[in-house]
C-alpha cells in the first residue's frame, strides 16, 4: 500500500472517529517508500496532521516531536517557505495552548512574513495565531489588528475554519474589552463556521466560551447548559484539556452558590487533568480556584498560590499574575495580615500597570472594565486609611484616577513645543514607587500655589468603594491629610446619577434620596474648612456626576458657603500648573446662528465681548459682533483655534450636545458637522480659561480606572488651565445673567476665578424677577436687527412677568411676540400658552411681585462648575 492509500485510509478513520487508527495510518504513510517522490510539502502535510491529532489527544510531546521533525526536514529545502511558515504557526499554536505565550511569540517571529511565497491561507493563519498570542500577552491593540486582518484574508480565500478561529479570537478580545454583545456575535459566527465544516473540537471551545460569557452576564442556567454541552463534546473527542476547562468552569458556578465540597472535587479533577498534560495556564486557574475554596473553608492557601504564581510568571500573562496576587492579598486580609495583604495588592496593581503600558489609549479605557485594578486600589486605599497611613492612602486614591488622562498629559508637548517623555513607564506605577514624603511636599506646594494672595486653599478628595467612601481632607494648615470613612452605597449612588434629571431638577422623594447619599460625604469638612475659603474637590466614580457644590453643608450649599473648583485628580492639577503659559488675546465664538432657538446666546457673546474689551483684552469675535453674518463653520472655528498664539480666553456660546454612546463625539453643533471632543483633544491651546456656555458641556462618562470622557477631558488635554462648563440643560436667560456676573467679578473686580463663580452663583440665586426682566429688556434692545430674536426675547420676558404675577404685561408681551409672525411653531404654541395663563391669572387681583426670587433652585444657579486652576 502506498502513501496515498494510507492517507485515504487515515481520512476514512478520522471520519469514523477512530483517532488511534488514524494516527497509525498517518505514521504508516510516512514510512512508505514512494513518499519521497511526492515531495517535502506532502510529507510536511502528513506530519502536521499527525501533530494536530496528538494535540487533540493532549499528547503535547508527540505533537511537538512531529512538528520539530517537519522543521528539521524542511531545513534541507530552503525554497519550501510556505510549508515552513505553516509548521511554525502550528508550533506556536501548540506552545500557546500549553501556556507558553512568550515562546509562541518567538516562534511566530521566525515566520518569513514578507516573503512573496506566502499566500492568503498562510498569512491568514499567521495573523490569527499572532493575534491570539498577543491577546494572551495583554497586547490587545496589536491583537485586534492581527485578528481583523486574519479574518479579512480568511474570508477572501474562503477558509471557513480560519475565519472561525479569527472570530473566536475577536470574541475573546471583546470579552476583555467588556463588549459582551460583540463577543456573543463573534462566538455565534464562529460556531456556524465550525458546524459547516464540521469541526467538533473547535465548536466545543465556542460552547465553553459562550458559557463564560453568560456567567459574566449573571445567567447561570445558560452558562451551565453551555458548559455541559462543551463537556459532552470534549469527552467524546478525548480532549482532557477541554474536559478540565469545563469541569473548572462548572466548579466555579457551584462555588458561587455555596457548594464548596462539590466545587473542590471538580477543581482537583481539573488540576489533575491540566497537570497530566502540562497545561500551565489551566493549572493556574485551577490552583487559584482551589485557594479561594480553601480560604472560604479556613484552610491553608499558601501552597496553592505559590504554585499558581510560579506558573503564571512562566506563562507570561500579566493578567494571571495580577489575579493570583489579588487573591493572595484577599487571603492575607481575611487572616488579619494587613502588611502582607498590602504587599500582594501592590504587586497586583503593578502587574496591571505593566499591562496598561502595552495598550493604546482606546483599548486601555475599555480593558479595565473587566480588570480587578479598581478592586485592588479600593483595598489599598482602605487598608492604608485603617492603618492610619493617610499619605499612602491618598497616594493610592490618586492612583485610581485617570491614568490614561495623566499619560496623555505627561507625554504632551511642553511650553517650548518639544516632546515631553513619560517620567515612568506608567503614571500609576510612578505613584507606587514614589517617595511618600517628596510626593506629599509636592501636594502641599500645589495647595500653596492655589492659595496665593493670602487666600487659603484646601483639598477634598473622595474614593468611592462598594459600601464605604473615604473622604480625604487636607487643609492649608495641616501637615497630614485626614481620611474619614463614610458609609455609602456605591451601586445606589451610580443609579441615582444615571437617573439624574436632564435639567438639574431634583425634587420630592428623589431629592431626599440624593441628600441622604451625599450630605454625609461633606460632613467631614464642617469643622475643618471655614466658610469663604477655597476648596478643590476631587471626585471619584459616580461622584463625577454629582453637583457636590450644591450639597448643603450645615444648611448652606457648599458652593455658596465656599468658592469651589473641581479636578480629575491632584496629578492632573499639577500637570496643569507646570504648563501654565498664556499668550494671545480672547476669542468669542457665537454658534447660535446654526439654531434659531438660541436667542440669548448672541446676547451672551456680546456681553462677554464687552466685558473682555473693557478689561483691556483684544477680542476676536466669530461672527463679528453686531453683524448678521453667517455663523462660523467647523473649518473657520478650527482655524481660529489653531492660530499661532491661540486665545488666552476662549468663550463658546450656543448649543452643546453630550453623546452617551460615544462621549468623545460630544461637542458643539456647527451646522452639518460638529466641533467634537475628539477634535478639541488634538488641538494645542494655551488658554487660561475656556467657557462653554452651552447645555451639558461638562457632562462626562466615566470608565473604570476613573477615566472621564467628554469635553472636559478633551480641553484639559488640549491645554486649557481652567474650564467653565455646565452639568445639565441650562436656561438661556439665567445662564446669560450668571456669566455676566462671573466675567464682571473676574475681569472687572479682580476676583480669582473660583471666587468669581461663587459671586455669580450667589448673585443669580438672590436675583429677582425685576433683575431678570431688566436683563431681558437689555437683550431685546440689542436684538433689533433680528426680528425673530427680538420676538423670542419678548416671549422670554413675558414668562418672567408671568412668574412675577404681572399678568397684564405678560399677556401684552406674548401677544406682541406672537403677532410678529417670526416665531417657530413650538415658540408660537408657547406664546399662546403664556397668553392663556395670563388671562386666567388676571382673575386673581393680587399685585405683581417683582421681588420674587426666580433662580434660587439649584438647577439654575448650580449648573456651571469650574474645573482646573481657579486662581
Q: How does pLDDT run across 670-721, given as a tens digit for each residue?
A: 877 888 888 888 888 888 999 988 766 667 677 667 777 788 888 988 889 9
Same domain, 509 and 631: no
Same domain, 654 and 694: yes
CA distances from 710 to 96, 405, 501, 594, 641 (A): 39, 12, 19, 22, 19
- The secondary structure of 169-201 as a DSSP string is HHHHHHHHTT-HHHHHHHHHHHHHHHHHTT-HH
Same domain, 533 and 520: yes
Last residue of a domain, one of 544, 578, 612: 578
Q: Contact at 8 Å (CB) between 540 and 464?
A: yes
Residue 528 exposed, middle or buried by CB count within 10 Å (0-12, 13-18, 19+): middle
Buried b (16+ CB within 10 A) or exposed e, 458-497: bbbbbbbbeebbbbbbbbbeeeebebbeeebebeebbebb
Residue 128: count of CB within 10 angstroms of its CB: 29
The C-alpha cell that represents 738 in the structure block: 450668571
d(CA 776, CA 772): 6
H-state helical runs in 257-370: 260-276, 280-296, 302-315, 318-334, 338-356, 361-367
The C-alpha cell that represents 370 in the structure block: 473587566
Residue 399 lies in a domain: no
* pLDDT of amino acid 422: 35
Residue 24 lies in a domain: no
Confidence of residue 630 (pLDDT cuts 50, 70, 90): confident
List, in order, residues 6 or more apart from 120 with CB less than 8 Å away.
153, 154, 156, 157, 159
Residue 402 lies in a domain: no
Residue 635 lies in a domain: yes
- Omega within 30 of 0 (cis) for the link into 198: yes
d(CA 175, CA 170): 9
Same domain, 620 and 757: yes
What's the structural domain count of the chain? 3
Q: Contact at 8 Å (CB) between 439 and 395?
A: yes
**Residue 162 predicted with pLDDT over 50:** yes
Same domain, 609 and 568: no
**Residue 366 predicted with pLDDT over 70:** no
CATH number at residue 564: 3.30.420
At residue 545, the 3 state secondary structure works out as helix
Same domain, 514 and 503: yes
* pLDDT of amino acid 594: 56
**Residue 368 predicted with pLDDT over 70:** no
Residue 183 lies in a domain: no
Last residue of a domain, one of 578, 603, 630: 578
Residue with cell 516562534: 107
Dihedral angle sign, alpha carbons of residues 291, 294, 296, 300:
negative
* pLDDT of amino acid 421: 38
Same domain, 619 and 560: no
**Residue 659 predicted with pLDDT over 80:** no
The C-alpha cell that represents 96 in the structure block: 500557546
**Residue 120 predicted with pLDDT over 80:** yes
Lowest mean pLDDT among 131-145, 147-161, 385-399, 540-554: 131-145
Dihedral angle sign, alpha carbons of residues 367, 502, 486, 865:
positive
**Residue 47 predicted with pLDDT over 80:** yes
Residue 824 lies in a domain: yes
Confidence of residue 75 (pLDDT cuts 50, 70, 90): confident
**Residue 560 is part of which domain span?**
435-578
The C-alpha cell that represents 713 in the structure block: 477631558
Same domain, 603 and 742: yes
Residue 103 exposed, middle or buried by CB count within 10 Å (0-12, 13-18, 19+): middle
The model's pLDDT over 480-514, given as tens digits with 9 standing for 90+, comes to 999 999 999 988 888 887 766 566 777 777 788 88
Last residue of a domain, one of 556, 578, 600: 578
3-state secondary structure 668-706: EEECCEEEEHHHHHCCCCCCCEEEEECCCCCCCEEECCC
Same domain, 559 and 487: yes
Residue with cell 411653531: 825
Residue 286 lies in a domain: no
Same domain, 609 and 739: yes
Same domain, 560 and 573: yes
* pLDDT of amino acid 519: 95
Residue 845 lies in a domain: yes
Residue 290 exposed, middle or buried by CB count within 10 Å (0-12, 13-18, 19+): buried
Dihedral angle sign, alpha carbons of residues 705, 711, 715, 717:
positive
Q: What is the pTM assigned to this prediction?
A: 0.73
Q: Contact at 8 Å (CB) between 294 and 272?
A: no
Same domain, 465 and 589: no
- Omega within 30 of 0 (cis) for the link into 858: no
Average pLDDT taken over every residue of the chain = 85
Q: Contact at 8 Å (CB) between 780 and 790?
A: yes
**Residue 575 predicted with pLDDT over 90:** no
The C-alpha cell that represents 682 in the structure block: 488634538
Dihedral angle sign, alpha carbons of residues 691, 692, 698, 703:
negative
CATH number at residue 755: 3.40.50.1460
Amino acid at each position: 500500500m502506498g502513501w496515498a492509500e494510507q492517507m485515504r485510509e487515515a481520512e476514512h478513520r478520522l471520519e469514523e472517529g477512530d483517532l488511534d487508527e488514524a494516527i497509525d495510518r498517518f505514521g504508516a504513510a510516512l514510512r512508505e517508500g514512494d513518499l519521497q517522490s511526492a515531495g517535502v510539502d506532502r510529507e510536511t502535510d502528513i506530519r502536521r496532521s499527525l501533530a494536530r491529532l496528538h494535540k487533540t489527544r493532549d499528547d503535547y510531546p508527540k505533537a511537538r516531536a512531529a512538528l520539530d521533525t517537519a522543521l528539521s526536514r524542511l531545513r534541507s529545502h530552503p525554497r519550501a517557505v510556505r510549508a515552513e511558515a505553516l509548521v511554525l504557526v502550528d508550533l506556536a499554536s501548540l506552545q500557546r495552548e500549553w501556556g507558553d505565550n512568550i515562546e509562541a511569540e518567538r516562534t511566530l517571529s521566525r515566520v518569513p512574513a514578507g516573503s512573496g511565497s506566502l499566500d492568503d491561507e498562510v498569512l491568514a493563519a499567521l495573523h490569527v495565531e499572532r493575534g491570539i498570542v498577543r491577546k494572551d500577552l495583554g497586547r490587545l491593540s496589536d491583537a485586534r489588528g492581527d485578528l481583523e486582518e486574519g479574518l479579512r484574508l480568511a474570508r477572501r480565500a474562503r477558509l471557513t475554519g480560519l475565519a472561525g478561529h479569527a472570530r473566536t479570537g475577536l470574541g475573546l478580545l471583546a470579552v476583555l474589552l467588556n463588549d459582551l454583545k460583540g463577543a456573543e456575535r463573534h462566538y455565534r459566527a464562529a460556531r456556524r463556521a465550525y458546524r459547516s465544516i464540521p469541526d467538533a473540537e473547535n465548536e466545543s471551545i465556542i460552547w465553553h466560551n459562550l458559557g463564560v460569557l453568560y456567567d459574566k452576564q449573571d445567567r447561570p442556567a445558560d452558562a451551565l447548559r453551555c458548559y455541559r454541552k462543551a463537556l459532552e463534546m470534549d469527552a467524546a473527542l478525548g480532549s482532557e484539556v477541554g474536559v478540565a476547562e469545563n469541569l473548572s468552569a462548572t466548579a466555579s458556578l457551584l462555588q458561587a452558590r455555596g457548594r464548596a465540597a462539590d466545587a473542590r472535587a471538580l477543581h482537583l479533577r481539573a488540576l489533575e487533568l491540566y497537570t497530566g498534560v502540562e497545561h500551565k495556564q489551566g493549572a493556574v486557574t485551577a490552583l487559584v480556584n482551589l485557594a479561594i475554596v480553601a480560604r472560604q473553608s479556613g484552610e491553608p492557601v499558601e501552597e496553592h498560590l505559590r504554585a499558581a504564581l510560579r506558573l503564571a510568571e512562566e506563562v507570561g500573562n500579566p493578567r494571571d499574575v495580577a489575579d493570583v496576587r489579588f487573591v493572595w492579598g484577599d487571603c492575607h486580609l481575611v487572616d488579619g495580615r494587613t502588611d502582607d495583604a498590602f504587599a500582594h495588592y501592590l504587586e497586583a496593581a503593578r502587574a496591571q500597570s505593566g499591562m496598561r503600558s502595552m495598550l493604546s489609549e482606546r483599548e486601555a479605557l475599555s480593558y479595565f472594565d473587566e480588570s480587578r485594578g479598581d478592586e485592588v486600589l479600593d483595598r489599598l486605599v482602605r487598608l492604608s486609611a485603617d492603618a492610619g497611613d493617610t499619605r499612602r492612602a491618598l497616594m493610592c486614591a490618586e492612583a485610581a484616577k485617570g491614568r490614561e488622562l495623566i499619560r496623555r498629559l505627561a507625554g504632551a508637548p511642553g511650553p517650548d513645543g518639544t516632546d515631553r517623555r513619560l517620567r515612568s513607564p506608567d503614571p500609576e506605577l510612578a505613584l507606587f514607587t514614589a517617595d511618600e514624603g517628596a510626593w506629599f511636599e509636592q501636594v502641599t506646594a500645589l495647595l500653596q500655589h492655589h492659595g496665593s494672595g493670602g487666600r487659603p486653599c484646601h483639598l477634598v478628595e473622595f474614593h468611592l468603594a462598594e459600601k464605604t467612601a473615604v473622604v480625604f481632607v487636607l487643609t492649608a494648615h495641616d501637615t497630614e491629610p485626614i481620611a474619614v470613612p463614610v458609609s455609602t452605597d456605591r451601586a445606589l449612588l451610580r443609579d441615582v446619577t444615571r437617573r439624574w434629571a436632564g435639567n438639574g431638577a431634583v425634587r420630592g422623594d428623589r431629592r431626599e434620596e440624593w441628600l441622604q447619599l451625599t450630605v454625609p460625604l461633606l460632613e467631614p469638612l464642617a469643622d475643618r474648612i471655614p466658610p469663604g475659603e477655597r476648596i478643590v474637590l476631587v471626585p471619584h466614580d459616580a461622584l463625577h456626576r454629582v453637583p457636590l457644590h450644591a450639597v448643603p453643608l450645615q444648611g448652606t450649599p457648599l458652593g455658596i458657603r465656599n468658592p469651589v473648583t473641581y479636578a480629575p485628580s491632584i496629578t492632573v492639577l499639577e500637570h496643569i500648573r507646570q504648563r501654565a503659559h498664556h499668550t494671545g488675546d480672547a476669542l468669542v465664538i457665537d454658534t447660535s446662528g446654526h439654531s434659531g432657538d438660541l436667542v440669548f446666546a448672541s446676547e451672551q457673546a456680546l456681553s462677554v465681548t464687552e466685558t473682555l474689551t473693557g478689561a483691556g483684552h483684544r477680542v476676536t469675535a466669530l461672527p463679528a459682533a453686531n453683524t448678521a453674518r453667517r455663523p462660523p463653520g467647523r473649518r473657520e472655528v478650527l482655524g481660529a483655534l489653531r492660530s499661532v498664539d491661540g486665545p488666552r480666553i476662549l468663550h463658546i456660546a450656543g448649543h452643546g450636545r453630550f453623546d452617551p454612546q460615544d462621549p468623545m463625539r460630544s461637542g458643539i453643533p456647527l451646522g452639518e458637522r460638529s466641533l467634537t471632543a475628539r477634535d478639541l483633544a488634538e488641538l494645542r491651546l494655551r488658554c487660561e480659561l475656556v467657557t462653554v456656555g452651552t447645555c451639558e458641556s461638562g457632562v462626562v462618562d466615566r470608565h473604570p480606572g476613573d477615566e472621564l470622557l467628554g469635553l472636559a477631558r478633551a480641553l484639559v488635554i488640549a491645554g486649557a488651565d481652567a474650564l467653565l462648563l455646565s452639568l445639565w440643560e441650562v436656561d438661556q436667560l439665567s445662564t446669560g445673567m450668571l456669566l455676566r456676573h462671573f466675567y464682571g467679578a473676574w475681569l472687572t473686580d479682580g476676583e480669582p476665578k473660583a471666587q468669581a463663580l461663587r459671586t455669580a452663583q450667589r448673585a443669580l440665586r438672590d436675583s429677582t424677577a425685576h433683575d431678570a426682566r431688566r436683563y431681558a429688556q437689555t437683550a431685546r434692545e440689542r436684538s433689533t436687527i433680528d426680528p425673530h430674536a427680538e420676538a423670542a426675547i419678548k416671549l422670554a420676558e413675558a414668562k418672567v412677568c408671568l412668574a412675577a404675577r404681572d399678568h397684564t404685561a405678560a399677556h401684552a408681551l406674548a401677544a406682541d411676540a406672537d403677532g410678529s409672525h417670526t416665531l417657530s411653531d413650538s415658540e408660537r404654541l408657547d406664546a399662546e400658552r403664556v397668553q392663556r395663563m395670563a388671562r386666567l391669572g388676571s382673575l386673581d387681583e393680587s399685585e405683581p411681585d417683582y421681588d420674587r426670587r426666580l433662580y434660587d433652585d439649584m438647577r439654575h444657579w448650580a449648573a456651571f462648575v469650574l474645573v482646573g486652576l481657579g486662581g
